[in-house]
Amino acid sequence: MIGKLFGAWLGEKVAGENQGAKGAILGYGAAAIARRSVPALAAVALGGWAFRKWRNRRDRRADA
């Protein structure tokens, strides 16, 4: 709930004085998108990190 309110407030500030509720709606939408995309981005980052570790270990064993 606090995330929705913060996103709406931030969107309103970014949109400026003359935009009214448009900024709040954009901020609320951005918060909803972030809530859905952050776990996916974290999973991709973790997968990339694990792949890099695996590749580095494989290369060290091949050199030895």
pLDDT digits (tens, 9 = 90+) for 5-62: 777 777 767 766 666 677 667 777 777 777 788 888 899 999 999 999 999 999 999 8
- The dihedral of CA 8, 14, 18, 19: what is its sign? negative
Task: Give residue 34's identity as a one-letter amino acid code.
Answer: A
Q: Are 26 and 9 in contact (CB under 8 A)?
A: no
Contacting residues for 29 by C-beta, under 8 A, at least 6 apart: 11
Instruction: Take residue 33 and report the two structure tokens written for it.
Output: 């998108």
CA atoms within 13 A on the CB side of 34: 10
Has this prediction a pTM greater than 0.85?
no
